[in-house]
A and B are shown apart, each in its own frame.
Chain A
Amino acid sequence: EVHLLESGGGLVQSGGSLRLSCATSGFIFKSYAMTWVRQAPGKGLEWISSVNGGGTNTYYADSVKGRFTVSRDNSKNTLYLQMNNLRAEDTAVYYCAKDLSTSSSLNFDYWGQGTLVTVSS
């Protein structure tokens, strides 16, 4: 059974940093691209970053480019999102999602339950 479990969220001051993790199980992690999606309170979903299965290709939304870094440790079956210079508008629930292929096609199947990041100004 496939499981995705995000962690690392919390309350941080504006300008601060957090690292989110998405621990996975139930599939061959290195064979699938992964994506981070966020949802601000009461708002819709926003694609923010993806990484291919090998970790060699990364993609970012303009809203986070230069501040967030996606990475993965295929030996630990874990996806990461390093978030620096956080702003109030980064306040959201952050979800990880599994792609159906090794390249980032954004065809998803499984999602985690999300972790809440709150940035105080």
Chain B
Amino acid sequence: QTVVTQEPSLTVSPGGTVTLTCASSTGAVTSGSYPNWFQQKPGQAPRSLIYNTDNKHSWTPARFSGSLLGGKAALTLSGVQPEDEAEYYCLLYYGGAQLGVFGGGTKLTVL
């Protein structure tokens, strides 16, 4: 069974920079895994932030960026705002019959 691992929790100060990562139990994450990143605030539906590794949607704030880092997918927030406090999920594509697996989520606290 494929497992996608994220940091359970991270804390960052307002204005700071933080990087969230997303690792696959099958090996290095590549662009072929089409990493996606989503933000979810309590009581709300997820919101798409990044698709296909590093592509932003029209609504994605410029301070969010996606990349590949050391065999993992990464989401970097630069100049963190209080409203960025949320749960962040990654999604990796594996193809085959089991198309995708979400990471367990990272709870980001802005303090």
- Residues on A facing B (Cβ under 8 Å): 35, 37, 44-47, 50, 59-62, 95, 97, 100, 104-114
**Which residue of A47, A109, A111 contacts B100 across the interface (Cβ within 8 Å)?**
A47
Bitwise interface map of B from 36 to 56 toward A, beta carbon under 8 Å scored 1, else 0: 101010000111100110000
Which residue of A has the minimal Cβ distance to B96?
A59
On whether the beta carbons of A112 and B34 are closer than 8 Å, the reply is no
On whether the beta carbons of B48 and A108 are closer than 8 Å, the reply is yes
Instruction: Check: B64 CB closer than 8 A to any chain A CB.
Output: no
CB distance from B79 to the nearest CB of A (A): 24
On whether the beta carbons of B38 and A45 are closer than 8 Å, the reply is yes
With contacts defined as CB atoms under 8 Å apart, how many contacts are there between chain A and chain B in the complex? Answer: 65
A106–B38 CA distance with the chains assembled, in angstroms:
12
A114–B1 CA distance with the chains assembled, in angstroms:
27
- Residues on B facing A (Cβ under 8 Å): 1, 34, 36, 38, 40, 45-48, 51-52, 57, 89, 91, 93, 97-105
Which residue of A has the minimal Cβ distance to B103?
A44
A110–B45 CA distance with the chains assembled, in angstroms:
10
Most buried by B among A61, A107, A109: A107
Besides A45-B38, A105-B93, 20 more A-B contacts (Cβ < 8 Å) are A35-B100, A44-B104, A45-B46, A45-B89, A45-B102, A47-B99, A47-B101, A50-B100, A59-B97, A60-B97, A62-B1, A62-B98, A97-B48, A100-B51, A106-B100, A107-B34, A108-B48, A108-B51, A109-B57, A111-B47
Residues of B near A46 (CB, < 8 A) are: 102
Residues of B near A107 (CB, < 8 A) are: 34, 36, 51-52
